[in-house]
Structure 1
Amino acid sequence: MLKELNPLLHSQLRLAVMSILLSVDEADFVYLKEQTNATAGNLSVQLDKLSEAGYIEVEKSFVGKKPRTVCRMTSTGREAMAEYVEVLKEYLSGI
């Protein structure tokens, strides 16, 4: 019997964000928004969900008078992504 894919990571936008964060130390909100073609509102909601799950850290600060939001993947997030990929491989090997 196949394991269930992690529903938190199975969302297209959340998976895209996590995939980007796997390959960089950190990414700011503007970069993530550009890379995913997401609206600011939707991206913000999805980042909150990933943060609440402990998969990413979100750091908000100001550069001059402009707000800056930076995201980093946590070790919990890396483990969740590795498990997600393994389960996905199980699905694909069953074809």
Structure 2
Amino acid sequence: MTFAKIYRPAKTAMQSGRAKSNVWMLEFESNAVRSSDPLMGWTSSSDTQGQVRLTFDTRDEAIAYAQKYNLAFQVIDRQEPKRIPRAYSDNFTFYRREPWSH
């Protein structure tokens, strides 16, 4: 039986916003063992489902797809980072805890 995981990907280190991080992905787990090519050093596998990544707009769509095709799946919820709102002027306040200098 094929196993899949459903998750929302984290934002990449190269982006400051949250674009393309609200989609849900269904990714298949690879069952085959990876082998190394002796000449080039590349790794390969006979399992092509390990390359498949499906995107969905909502979590429920991804779950419905997995149930429709009788896939065993696991939903992984990511934890949202705690945002602390700060003002730019807090950098120059007299009551700053850490010393500030150039």
- Specify the TM-score bucket, using the shorter chain as the normaliser: under 0.3
Q: What's the TM-score once normalised by structure 2's chain length?
A: 0.22
Structure (1 or 2) with the greater helix fraction? 1
Higher CA-based Rg: 2
User: What's the TM-score, normalizing by structure 1?
Assistant: 0.23
